[in-house]
A and B are shown apart, each in its own frame.
Chain A
Amino acid sequence: MNNAIEIDGSIGEGGGQVLRSSLSLSMFLKQPFTIKNIRAGRPRPGLMRQHITAVKAAAKICNAKVKGAEISSLKIEFYPGKVQSGTYKFDVGSAGSTTLVLQTLLPVLMVADGTTEISLSGGTHNQYSPPLDFLVNSYLRQINKMGPKVSVDLTAYGFYPVGAGMFTVKIDPAKELKQIEILSRGKNISKKAFAYSSKINEEIGENEMKIVAKKFGWLKENCKSVMVESPGPGNVVLLIDENEHTTEVFTGFGRKQYSLKKVVADAITEYTEYIQSEVPVYKYLADQMIIPMILAGAGRFITSEPSLHTLTNIKVVKKFLEVDISINQLNQNQWQVDISSKK
């Protein structure tokens, strides 16, 4: 076994992101690592169930040896083995997020030696992680530009707190990852809004869509309220801005004792911020693109002021690889991130 890299889990945002990014890089690079101080500053420090699920899923895919994957553990050791493409099924449970698990596994499977199909069940739309719609429309669109073909087939939504959504991801890998850059949005293709609801009064979604249509003057057929299949109740509002080079998704999450106006307003606030900034890559996509671009050897994008998550990912990447990552402010609202590996 190689010498393991040591990661301090308290760097940057100091949460689960450090762990997930380390897992992605470790699997891809076959580089063992140990991570200590996991979530050290949090009210309940150490590994939580969703992190353990991610670690175990990662370990399964690359036959890794793992030490310390227990609840509240502050330290784990991860020794990746050979990556195995094929069919997998991971049950994430209600509190965890399937999208975060998928993101962790994806990089290595994009260049694996065969097609992989992963069935995931658990939460798909929860306030504290990227909703599946973002993953599919925004993130996977960029990933697919890099060579692999990744598609998602959703059979059930999993809203917080019940979760239990279900979807299958199919990953046709590429031989190697193409380098991409996202420097402008390009022409706008569509602007759409969706209200997905389950086991609640249908009018809620309809009213949400009315507010959106009225606010932006969008056509009624582009603002759809849909009752979706899900074991538990839930509601989410999505604004999707599709352009020539990028798609961005903005979300408002319905929850108990939270008015539909507020749900809509949450999505609109993010959308407006994005539109006004004129950047092609909104903050959520920005932090997701760091690792794929590094693994492709280089990449470049323009975004708004880098978030703590983005900076955290950069710090983690630098632990695993010799890279040049420069961040230059172009104007009041725009920053350009240039990534290239030194090899």
Chain B
Amino acid sequence: MKNILISLLGTTLDKGFKENRWERWRPSVAICQHEDLLIDEYHLLFPTKFLRLANRISKDINIVSPETKVILHQLDFKDAWDFEEVYTGLLDFLEHFDFHKEEDHYLFNITTGTHVAQICIYLLTESRRFPGDLIQTSPVKLNVAGSYSIIDLDLSKYDKIAARYARESKDDITFLKSGIETKNKKFNELIERIELVALRTKDPILLTGPTGAGKSRLARRIFELKKLKASVKGKFVEIECGTIRGDAAMSALFGHKKGAFTGAVSDRPGLLKTADKGIVFLDEIGELGLDEQVMLLRAIEEKKFFSVGADKESESDFQLICGTNRDLHQRVKVGLFREDLLARINLWTFKLPGLSDRPEDIEPNIEYELKRYAEKTGDVIRFNKEARSAFLNFAASTDAKWEANFRDLNGAIIRLCTLALGGRITIDILNEEIKRLKSLWDTDKFNHKDELKDKYGHIIDIEQYDLFDRIQLKEVLKICNKSKSLSDAGRKLFAVSRLEKASANDSDRLKKYLAKFNLTWDSVARMN
């Protein structure tokens, strides 16, 4: 393994032909005067008009270090302060250099040359166009050899820096967990991995997991962490795809031009544009309409898209984080989700566990929720001992379904705190809450909200309707699904009232009913 050095002649620092030159630190010579560094091959780059100096330096190197073979190369810059010229000149030299990376160790001396040259040397090394390390030399009092240090740009090789990064990374992980000291091993590993990936990638990230598992909060924390690290400059924009439909969805995401459609009274940039150089979090991505999916895919890949009614493309460089509690592969199978889009957003997928999968994290999350409540209201609320252990017992039991996960926990704590007298949550208040939670989870079972949402969630926003309407709609749709046509379904649904009518207008009634939910027979029938 030979040490092969490339160095620019220091037209100022290396100067000197008189005997007293030996009393000065001359970086190009001094680098060969170290007992623990042997330069086997020394490529000295010099401007033509400094040929005499280059020869002098070459001879002096030979005196102090007879083992070193000096090879002179002429390299002229019209303007040694011109970045482009210097970079190109050095790059040309390196491209013609016969590197044997495996066998030899290459060093570039960053001590000499203009500052521009030093910057270029750094850039060439950092981009591995120069496949070696940097060497920096400096003068030392009473020692003409001065000192040197080899700079490896792989920062992980420096203990202090590595330790600092590890510490920062630990801080970052805590940050991603909103400061909650979670104990669940799997969850902690997951967050560590997310931290690692989030800071390095600009590609889409997909967060899956049951509703209320904290996808939205995590997406926002990722954004805030990246903002802290200055790896995003723009805004964080969040939207739940289930809440936007049709034209509204298009315009919400991609913007519109004034007059693009009725109601488009002014230009709207759209969420993707707003998130330029920032992050877009599309929650419930599975609910996004097929047309929007096409547009989104192109926006991710080309960072360009058409606003509604625009004849010029908008540009936005955003990072996409998606959230879903659905099985997107299943959606692809039934034709409701584009396979190419899934492939694109499925690069980094992280599955967040529900609360019941992380029983050991219930307690730290309770603490967190109490703290948040205190921050919001100024009231510091505590459990008494009995209530705390009862709550923990219940929370980890099979009775506790935690169907909406952290959303449920958050709701429970807010209710407990609001009802707590004198800053204490007592066993009575707690028992009342446990009853409430149990009945909440039972109700959810009755209203079958999820069945309806699963099937039609992509075309209607179930949650904006009362339970009263949802129950009816569900049964209506069930009949529709079993029917051959609109009139067939109408006949079944209005079997009683149609008898009293002169003319049967079942089809029309059903059509109108469905229209209330923005549904058409076709869209319903397609679900069959």
Contacts and interface: CB of A to CB of B under 8 A. Distances in A.
Contacts, number: 66
A226 to B, nearest CB: 17
B36 A164 contact: no
Contact of A93 (B19, B22, B64, B143): B64
A60 to B, nearest CB: 14
Nearest to A53: B67
Given A49-B35, A233-B20, A91 B66 contact: yes
A323 interface: no
B365 interface: no
A256 interface: yes
Nearest to B60: A162
Interface string B46-89: 00000000000000000111110000000000000000000000
B36 A256 contact: no
Interface in A39-96: 44, 46, 48-50, 52, 70-72, 91-96
Contact of A162 (B22, B35, B36, B38): B22
A121 interface: yes
Contacts of A95: 33-35, 64, 145
B38 A161 contact: no
Given A161-B22, A232-B22, A93 B34 contact: no
A147 interface: no
B142 interface: yes
A271 B219 CA distance: 81
Nearest to B66: A91
Nearest to A47: B36
Contacts of B35: 44, 48-50, 95-96
A196 to B, nearest CB: 16
B40 to A, nearest CB: 11
A93 B36 contact: no
Most buried by B among A49, A121, A122, A255: A49
B496 interface: no
Contacts of A122: 66
B236 to A, nearest CB: 51
B39 to A, nearest CB: 10
A297 interface: no
Nearest to B144: A161
A233 B63 CA distance: 13
A164 B64 contact: yes
B375 interface: no
A5 B64 CA distance: 35
Nearest to A50: B35
Given A233-B23, A256-B23, A48 B36 contact: yes
Nearest to B20: A233
A48 B144 CA distance: 18
B343 interface: no
A233 B38 contact: no
B142 A257 contact: yes
How many chain B residues sit at the interface, stated as a range, is 20 to 34
Contacts of A233: 19-20, 22-23
Interface string B11-36: 00000000110110000000001111
A49 B36 contact: yes
Contact of A121 (B20, B33, B66, B145): B66
B230 interface: no
B191 to A, nearest CB: 41
A94 B64 contact: yes
A94 B36 contact: no
A94 B33 contact: yes
Contacts of B66: 91-93, 121-122
Contacts of B36: 44, 46, 48-49, 71-72
B499 interface: no
A114 interface: no
Given A44-B36, A72-B36, A161-B22, A94 B63 contact: yes
B334 interface: no
A162 B67 contact: no
The B interface is mostly helix, strand or loop, or mixed, namely: loop
A95 B34 CA distance: 7
Contacts of A91: 66-67
A162 B22 CA distance: 7
B38 A71 contact: yes
Given A48-B35, A256-B142, A163 B64 contact: yes
B37 interface: yes
B19 A199 contact: yes
Most buried by A among B37, B66, B143: B66
Nearest to A200: B19
A199 B23 CA distance: 11
A113 B65 CA distance: 33
A93 B39 CA distance: 12
Contact of A94 (B20, B37, B38, B65): B65
A91 B35 CA distance: 14
A71 B36 CA distance: 6
A175 B44 CA distance: 51
Contacts of A92: 66
Contacts of B67: 49, 91, 93
Nearest to B68: A93
Contacts of B145: 95, 161
Interface in A84-125: 91-96, 121-122
A11 B19 CA distance: 42
Interface string A117-160: 00001100000000000000000000000000000000000000
A255 B144 CA distance: 11
Nearest to A90: B66
Contacts of A46: 36
Nearest to A92: B66
B61 to A, nearest CB: 10
A12 interface: no
A163 B142 contact: no
A43 to B, nearest CB: 10
A122 B38 CA distance: 15
Contacts of B37: 49, 71
Interface in B240-259: none
Contact of B38 (A49, A199, A231): A49
A164 B64 CA distance: 7
A48 B34 CA distance: 9
A44 B1 CA distance: 20
A164 B63 contact: yes
Contacts of A94: 33, 63-65
Contacts of B19: 199, 232-233
A257 B142 CA distance: 7
Nearest to B3: A71
A163 B23 contact: no
Nearest to B141: A257
B224 to A, nearest CB: 46
Given A48-B36, A49-B35, A231 B63 contact: yes
14 contacts: A49-B35, A71-B37, A71-B38, A93-B65, A93-B66, A94-B63, A95-B35, A161-B143, A164-B64, A231-B63, A232-B19, A232-B22, A232-B63, A233-B20
Interface of B: 1, 19-20, 22-23, 33-38, 63-67, 142-145
The 8 tightest CB contacts between A and B, nearest first, are A91-B66, A94-B64, A48-B35, A199-B19, A164-B63, A232-B22, A44-B36, A95-B35
Interface of A: 44, 46, 48-50, 52, 70-72, 91-96, 121-122, 161-164, 199, 231-233, 255-257
Given A71-B36, A162-B64, A232-B63, 7 more contacts: A48-B35, A93-B67, A95-B145, A161-B33, A161-B143, A231-B63, A256-B144
